[in-house]
Amino acid sequence: MHRPTILTAIIVALALLGAACGDDDTAGESDATTTAPTDDGVVQGDFPVTIESAGGTWTLESAPQRIVSLSPMATEVLFAIGAGPQVVAVDAYSYFPEEAPVTDLSGFDPNVEAITALEPDLVVIVNDANELIAGLTALDIPVLVSAAPADIESGYASMAELGVASGRIDEAAAAVESLRAEIDAALADAPRTTARIYHELGDSLFSASSFGFVGAVYAEMGATNIADAADADQSGFPQLTEEYIVEADPELIVITDQVGYTTDDVLARPGWGEITAVVNGDVVVVNADIASRWGPRLPQFITAVADALAGIAVPVS
């Protein structure tokens, strides 16, 4: 009869654990309530509106006032289009802008209970982890899947979509317009180049190809992205073979500030000594957040890349 005893003990332990987690969630909720919607702007839009995404088709009867965002990109956009006061909670990695109500919610491993405890009237997510869409749908909570845009143009479209969903259509249109102007200006100022570029995401040699909006920035400047040849299924983020990188001979190597190694480490890699970018020391570091998230800070990334391109030894026109 040992087994039932142990099982009972485990069940009791799990129940206690669940209760403890429940307490956490309640605490999160009360935190969120302190930043509750204090609507300072006029919510426009002809509600009810219908939103359509991979999260299903939803009709919002009125402008959502308790938005939960599990997408750092969507968080940046929501705040940029004036919907910030309607946002009650954002995921742990939504640390921009500073006033975003960060919680320990996770977009990678979301917990439906923790989300519903916040009583959201709209949940914005990047992808459907842990059957999240099904769970929220069962509870009749509207879900908007705001996936990472594949290129710059579809980034504007997802901003507009968030504007419709949050009842900030005019602000979203204005934000798109000014962002478009900024991006166009940054691209216009950027040198035109045919340089071969390698954007490294980590030392497993994952890279950003032109099929994602990060790599698309290089293509906009005319550069050749060496990852494109490896991205047959257009995932946007292929893993390259080291031999290929050396053979492709990039003239500029871009790494981010979250990779855990430095430009010197890249320059010192065995077998990389003959790469043009390494010979000329053209390995640059960019801020990982602005170089991996669609949002109002994208012009900063373009400017950073443009500066790097202007400085490399390979001639640009």
Partner 1 sequence: MTSTASAAAAEPESATDLAVGRAFRLPAAALAVGIVAVAAVAVFSATQGAAGLPVGGVLSAIFDRVPMLGIDSTLSERQESILFEIRLPRMVLGMLVGGSLAMAGAAYQGVFRNPLADPYLLGVSAGAGLGAVLALGFDLDVGWGPFDAVSAAAFVGALVAVSLSAAIARGPGSSPATLLLAGVAMAALFSASQTFALQRLSDTRAREVLSWLFGQLNTSGWEQVWVLGPYFVVCGLILVLHRRHLDVMRVGDDEAASLGLDPARARLVIVIAASVLTAAAVAVSGLIAFVGLVVPHIVRLLVGSSYRAIVPLSALFGAAFLGFVDVGARTVLSPAELPVGVITAFVGAPFFAFILWRGKAVAA
Question: What H or E segment, with its residue span, contains residue 197?
Answer: strand 196-199
Whether the Cβ atoms of residue 94 and residue 69 lie closer than 8 Å to each other = yes
Whether the Cβ atoms of residue 42 and residue 94 lie closer than 8 Å to each other = no
Whether the Cβ atoms of residue 271 and residue 246 lie closer than 8 Å to each other = yes
Residue with smaller CB distance to partner 1, 19 or 232: 232
Give the shortest CB-117-to-partner 1 separation in angstroms: 19
Give the shortest CB-259-to-partner 1 separation in angstroms: 8
Residue with smaller CB distance to partner 1, 185 or 229: 229
Residue with smaller CB distance to partner 1, 188 or 270: 270
CA nearest neighbour of 147 among 132, 138, 157, 135: 157
Give the shortest CB-247-to-partner 1 separation in angstroms: 4
List residues near partner 1 by CB under 8 A. 93, 106, 108-109, 201-206, 229-232, 238-244, 246-249, 256, 258-260, 269-275, 288, 292
Residue with smaller CB distance to partner 1, 61 or 242: 242
Whether the Cβ atoms of residue 107 and residue 147 lie closer than 8 Å to each other = no
Give the shortest CB-124-to-partner 1 separation in angstroms: 17
Residue with smaller CB distance to partner 1, 3 or 38: 3
Residue with smaller CB distance to partner 1, 31 or 206: 206
Give the shortest CB-226-to-partner 1 separation in angstroms: 8
- Phi, psi angle pair for 34, to nearest 5°: -65, -25
Residues 6+ apart with CB under 8 A from 189: 303, 306
Whether the Cβ atoms of residue 279 and residue 254 lie closer than 8 Å to each other = no
The residues facing 68 across adjacent strands are 89, 123
Residue with smaller CB distance to partner 1, 151 or 289: 289
Residues 6+ apart with CB under 8 A from 301: 214, 217, 286, 287, 290, 291
Give the shortest CB-291-to-partner 1 separation in angstroms: 10
Give the shortest CB-206-to-partner 1 separation in angstroms: 7
Burial bucket for residue 170 (CB in 10 Å: 0-12, 13-18, 19+): middle
